Amino acid sequence: MPKLNENYLNLKESYLFAEINHRVKAYSEAHPEKKIIRLGIGDVTLPIGSKMIEQMHEGVDAMASSETFKGYGPEQGYDFLRNAIVDYYARNNVSIEADEVFVSDGAKSDTGNITDLFAQDNVIMIPDPVYPVYVDTNIMNGRNITYIDANAENNFLPMPDHSKHADIIYICSPNNPTGAAYNYEQLKEWVDYALENDAILLYDSAYECFITDESLPRSIFAIEGAKKCAIEFCSLSKTAGFTGTRCGYTIVPKALKFVSSKGIEMSLNAMWNRRQTTKFNGVSYIVQKGAAAAFSVEGMAQCHENIKYYQENAKIIADGLAKKGIRYFGGVNSPYIWFECLNSMDSWDFFDYLLNNAQVVGTPGAGFGKNGQKYFRLTSFGNRENTIEAMHRIDQLF
């Protein structure tokens, strides 16, 4: 009999979206005449811009003739895309090199796979509430997790406790689920903490494109010292509408080096390169053509038209809550709006309350950690008309 990875027994059942669907289905079967509005989805809905589509069509055509046909490409991504990403960072005043960029099928895979590079006995620090991937991938590897509280007192932006040591720290900013985004000073403090502790920051920047406040950093590498202590994960999923097309990228600086127990210097860039070339065979040429277009000035302008639409939805939601005197987080530099459930309701009770009385579906905060127990997430990825209608119903309700 094979001995199984029994760490899987320690995973909590991932029932959040299944349970939401189950409750919505039961409600709509009992009330077929009611129109349900879904503001719970963490997925984009607008089509991909024409520049990206055009380039993907070119990629398809290239496969049709022997002169331009592509087989396996470089596991790390084609140079044209790695260079386009370097240029994009340069336009945001961050300097990285092409061989620090690793193209992949998405940030979910990379944030999970990165655990391959670390030994068992590390102090892993993860904020609560959080994107569940960081937690579950460490549990699958049998690692213990130390949680740090994100709550209303710290505006859902926990800061380092210099009296406590950590080896590996996960940060997501702008944050899913809370929408909160760190400023320079706050991220500098995290970088300083990581350098002090000889630790590494695993920085998820999937929502950088939603930052409108120009004073906020869009990359951890905008912070001095970060190249010695951080890896950045990013994705075209929310930026360019690639959730179904699949393309992400991870920046692993060459300056990121630690010493082994036997005193050998180990480069994380070299290790990730080895990991990816061993276990991954690269992203489709067709998709990389589309991705490179997204990083061009014209392509990015098209991406921002879609992002602007979501941002306007976010403002409608945020204004609707503000009008009712409900304190919310996010909604400005993020597609997510996070707020305390009314009358201190538990998040699942509030979910049922909104579904039954306003036919609006959101996401209960409890699905993201204990600090989400009394919070609720609405997203701006719906259509305009429905978003307005949902906020109108909420306005009538309270």
Ligand X SMILES: *Cc1c(COP(=O)(O)O)cnc(C)c1O
Binding site for ligand X (CB under 6 A): 42, 106-108, 131, 172, 176, 204, 206, 235, 237-238, 243, 248
Nearest CB to ligand X, comparing residues 107 and 211: 107
Q: Return the residue matching tokens 């061009």.
A: 296
Task: Write down the least CB distance from residue 111 to ligand X, Å.
Answer: 6
3-state secondary structure of 68: coil
Nearest CB to ligand X, comparing residues 249 and 348: 249
Element (H, E) at 251: strand 248-251
Residue 177 and residue 181: Cα distance in Å, rounded?
11
Task: Write down the least CB distance from residue 323 to ligand X, Å.
Answer: 28
Q: Which residue of the chain is nearest ligand X when measured via CB? A: 106
Residue 11 and residue 21: Cα distance in Å, rounded?
21
Nearest CB to ligand X, comparing residues 28 and 137: 137
Task: Write down the least CB distance from residue 363 to ligand X, Å.
Answer: 12
Nearest CB to ligand X, comparing residues 118 and 210: 210
Task: Write down the least CB distance from residue 69 to ligand X, Å.
Answer: 28
Q: In the structure, how many helices (H) and strands (E) does the chain have? A: 12, 15
Task: Write down the least CB distance from residue 1 to ligand X, Å.
Answer: 34
Nearest CB to ligand X, comparing residues 227 and 238: 238
**Contact in structure between 306 and 241 (CB atoms under 8 Å):** yes
**Contact in structure between 395 and 323 (CB atoms under 8 Å):** yes
Distances (CA, A) of 214 to 92, 147, 211, 298: 10, 30, 7, 20
Task: Write down the least CB distance from residue 188 to ligand X, Å.
Answer: 22
Nearest CB to ligand X, comparing residues 74 and 132: 132
Residue 180 and residue 332: Cα distance in Å, rounded?
9
Strands of 101-104's sheet in order across = 101-104, 248-251, 230-235, 200-204, 168-172, 124-128, 145-149
What percent helix, strand, coil does the chain show, rounded to 5?
45, 15, 40
Nearest CB to ligand X, comparing residues 102 and 320: 102
Task: Write down the least CB distance from residue 368 to ligand X, Å.
Answer: 10
Element (H, E) at 337: strand 336-340
